[in-house]
Structures are given as structure tokens and as C-alpha cells.
A and B are shown apart, each in its own frame.
Chain A
Amino acid sequence: GAVVSQHPSRVICKSGTSVKIECRSLDFQATTMFWYRQFPKKSLMLMATSNEGSKATYEQGVEKDKFLINHASLTLSTLTVTSAHPEDSSFYICSARRRGAPNYGYTFGSGTRLTVV
């Protein structure tokens, strides 16, 4: 099956610091990975589409300088929350789909609970 590993699962950081979240596809290659943010009782909000070897595509309203995305290989994408503030506290989830397999569904990571104090 397709497995996506997300790390860390939980992180607490001080306001003003940066936090990096990793998303890895363990048993398949993914040219595209997606980063979502989830608010309580709300839909998952797509933040950006991470493309291997090129710049990420950000959704409207998402600050690209705030949420840095790097997709350095076909199996790894990272999201860095820079100069984090309490309002950045949220649940972040990544997803990926098997390369060259549009008929496959998306596989999601286990999520990262970020708390900024």
C-alpha cells in the first residue's frame, strides 16, 4: 500500500521561532505533495501544492514567506512555519499521490499538532 509518514506528530514551540514538518512517501514516489491545515469543526484547508524540483503553488491567502515549502526529492516535502505566532497553532496534514497514477487516491500523513506559546 501507499504510506505517508509525517514527523513530528506534535510540537510545541515558542513564539518567534521556526518549526519544520517533514512529509515522506515511504513506498512510492510522489512528484506532488499537498499541505493542509485543519481548524476545529472546519474543512481541511489546502495551503499549498508542493512540486518536486520547483516552487510550491500557494493557495490564495496563504503567506508563502510564512509557510516555506521545499520538495527536494520524489519522496520528501517539508513545511517550515517561520517566526511562528500563537495564531499559527493548528493541525497540519500532508498528502501525496503515487506518481503517474491519477486513478489512485490520496494518502495522508498522520498530521502534526503545532502549538505556539
Chain B
Amino acid sequence: KQEVTQIPAALSVPEGENLVLNCSFTDSAIYNLQWFRQDPGKGLTSLLLIQSSQREQTSGRLNASLDKSSGRSTLYIAASQPGDSATYLCAVSEGGSEKLVFGKGTKLTVNP
């Protein structure tokens, strides 16, 4: 059974700092991995999607990497801003299934 773990559960940083969020999964037979952002009481906003054949994806200040063989992904946020404060969720799509398996998320707080 696929399990997704995100570390740390919460992170508080000063504005301007670069930071890394971690995601690990137990079964490397994934189809793709997706990072989402969730603001309190809101739905999920897709940030980056990495196909299983890819190593990384970039969007603005965000960079996500994928090491499928070791079951790990990282989300790098450069020059963090208070507006980045949210919960970041990692999810994997399993091969042969359309289901997404989510981690519990990392709650990020960027202090002005």
C-alpha cells in the first residue's frame, strides 16, 4: 500500500529565506507526482506536476525534484514571501490507477 510522508509537518521561516519541503513515498511505481498548495478553508491549487520520467519541474520561484528510485521529492521555494504561507501537499498518482495518494502536508509560515 502506497504511503506518502511529508517532513516537516510545520515550518516557520523569515521572509526572504530559501527553503526545502520534503516528500517521500514507499512504492516507486508511480505515474507522476504533484505538489499542491492549500490555503485555510480552501481547495487545492496545483503548483507543479512531475511525470515519472522527469527529474524536475520549475515554475517561477518553485522547483520540484523527483528521485523515483529512492522514493523522494523535494519542493524548493526561493526567496520566500509572506504570501507563500500555506499548507503544501504532495501526492503521487500510482501506475495503473487514477488515484492520488496524499501526504499530510507541511504547514509553512513565512514571517515578515
Contact = CB atoms under 8 A, between A and B. Distances in A.
Interface in B39-73: 41-46, 49, 51
Contact of B89 (A41, A44, A97, A104): A44
Of the four ranges (under 10, 10 to 19, 20 to 34, 35 or more), the interface on chain A belongs to 20 to 34
Given A93-B43, A103-B51, A111-B41, A46 B99 contact: yes
Given A97-B98, A105-B34, A105-B49, A43 B103 contact: yes
Interface string B20-34: 000000000001101
Interface string B84-100: 00000101010000111
B98 A103 contact: no
Given A44-B89, A102-B31, A105-B34, A110 B42 contact: yes
A108 B102 contact: no
Given A42-B104, A49-B98, A93 B44 contact: yes
Contacts of A77: none
A95 interface: yes
Given A6-B43, A91-B41, 14 more contacts: A32-B98, A34-B100, A42-B104, A43-B4, A43-B105, A44-B91, A105-B34, A105-B49, A106-B46, A107-B46, A108-B44, A108-B46, A111-B41, A111-B42
20 contacts: A6-B43, A32-B98, A41-B104, A42-B104, A43-B4, A43-B103, A44-B89, A44-B91, A46-B99, A46-B100, A49-B98, A49-B99, A93-B44, A97-B98, A103-B32, A103-B51, A108-B45, A108-B46, A111-B41, A113-B41
